[in-house]
Chains A and B, each alone.
Chain A
């Protein structure tokens, strides 16, 4: 059967690098902080899938008609995101992807509609175009999509990646993606031909407890798993609201969840390792977090999947 019918496409992955660069061999795009999304579009309708092939359209019904904005049957690769206050809001799209109540979804869609930005084309009319060089795929994409606020084509610039990186920082955007001009599209592969540079690092941690600090601040104690064992990874204070944490009903316990007890934590209130949170920090080569900021609780991830990076 044809890939358009079987679905299940695993998108090409993007390698990560700390510093942006300038090269005439590459193009540079804005990295939007949303959900990776493969769009299967033809005369009969729109089908949106995440990178694990789960149907996304029930969560974003406002995009049901984007197939009417393409001139040919196609499969597109892009980002599904929500803009709020002039920048992309990852938590808003994440919340939406977890909603099942159609009325709550409708209310959310009215207030904060999602949008789809296509940055690649995988399939055109009736054949795969993954072996066609990137710049030709980009041309195809430009001719096929009729832009409106719900579907658009990712803009790119040539040569000056560093400048785009700085410009995205000024706008509060996540960073940039650099792509080699003649790169092919490889399903489910991380190559050195697609590279992202981000302003902030984000990582997920297990919420393990907290310490009350002076001037009403709360310092959250966070951990990650290393070879199956939960280990202490430090604290995050900025952005933490105890009210938000307790809305997710943590279970208090008498003992820390770590085998090795960090020093100076006598005053801590400990939790069972059940909640996952997202923490943003400045990129650094050293161990530990640099200026960490608590971004919120993730309901879509289990604690055991918060794995410590090798140092």
Chain B
């Protein structure tokens, strides 16, 4: 939910925007409970030698460079090498989306212009749309130097975070060079054409999640007997009419008396 404050910077344009997540996690997550009391399980950090709990102030960071051997690095040292907090989205250059291998795409964010920045934002969006160009940009999110692709849609500019080249693994086996029979290839192509149709994302759902939600709803309904509501009428029209009626009755009685 939390929006990340930023600004798009390109040439003479400086457009304050906020980055808002375009996707949400809708999968059911469970909590761990104690079997008997149904209380939430808590984690304690403890030292395996003395079996005592370690307070946050006594926990430091170490890097395991060899099995069982650590170099310790403290917060001051980390602070020194941290990327300068530059939340601005710097556009480096423009490119065609077709140039980018989709394997690099990671997460999607909506870029929402701040109040007063709408015009400059619209200018950039429309210009990119008519030139059919996307922008390659850099920014800092948290401590991460993030590579971004900005691309325009009919309504909004979307930012996609990108993997760096180092993060993409090599194909584990070298690609196989086998000659295929021409007639077999034709057969395979016929099969593909027969199964081709426009893509409709709304036709697909995670059916396990749907069954899980259904099971949970059923359980809750089973527990409704112990509902916290005391059964007082929750119809606002009745409540408003009852109050109005009481007062009008009281007033008319006064009038006739």
Contacts and interface: CB of A to CB of B under 8 A. Distances in A.
Interface of A: 30, 32, 81, 83-87, 98, 100-103, 107, 110-112, 115, 117, 147, 149, 152, 154-157, 159-160, 163-164, 167-168, 171
A84 B240 contact: no
A202 B246 CA distance: 28
A154 B243 contact: no
Q: Which 3 A-B pairs have the closest CB atoms?
A: A86-B232, A83-B234, A155-B240
A161 B236 CA distance: 20
Nearest to A164: B247
A160 B240 contact: no
B241 interface: yes
Contacts of B220: 107
A86 B213 contact: no
B114 to A, nearest CB: 13
Contacts of B217: 107, 110
Interface string B214-257: 00110010000001011011111101110110111011000000
Contact of B232 (A81, A85, A152): A85
Chain B contact-residue range equals 20 to 34
Given A160-B251, A164-B247, A171 B237 contact: no
B118 to A, nearest CB: 11
A117 B236 contact: yes
9 contacts: A30-B240, A84-B234, A98-B1, A101-B26, A102-B24, A112-B229, A155-B244, A163-B250, A171-B239
Nearest to B224: A111
B191 interface: no
A30 B245 CA distance: 13
Given A86-B233, A107-B217, A167 B1 contact: no
Given A147-B237, A152-B237, A157 B24 contact: no
A157 B248 contact: yes
B50 interface: no
B99 to A, nearest CB: 34
B28 interface: yes
A200 to B, nearest CB: 18
Contacts of B250: 163
A152 B229 contact: no
Contacts of B237: 147, 149, 152
Interface in B139-191: none
A81 B240 CA distance: 14
Contacts of A87: 232
Given A84-B229, A100-B1, A102-B26, A149 B235 contact: yes
Given A85-B229, A103-B26, A155-B241, A167 B234 contact: no
Contacts of A154: 240
A167 B247 contact: yes
Nearest to A84: B229
Interface string B194-220: 000000000000000000010011001
B85 to A, nearest CB: 20
Contacts of A32: 236
Given A103-B28, A149-B235, A149-B237, A171 B247 contact: no
Contacts of A152: 236-237, 240
B234 A163 contact: no
Contacts of A83: 234-236, 239
Contacts of A149: 235-237
Nearest to B26: A102
Contacts of A157: 244, 247-248
Contacts of B1: 98, 100
Contacts of B227: 111
Nearest to A148: B237
A87 B216 CA distance: 28
A30 B229 contact: no
Contact of B239 (A86, A100, A101, A164): A86
A110 B217 CA distance: 10
A163 B234 CA distance: 23
Contacts of B230: 85-86
B213 A167 contact: no
Given A86-B233, A102-B26, A167 B246 contact: yes
A39 to B, nearest CB: 15
Contact of A100 (B24, B235, B236, B241): B24
B218 to A, nearest CB: 12
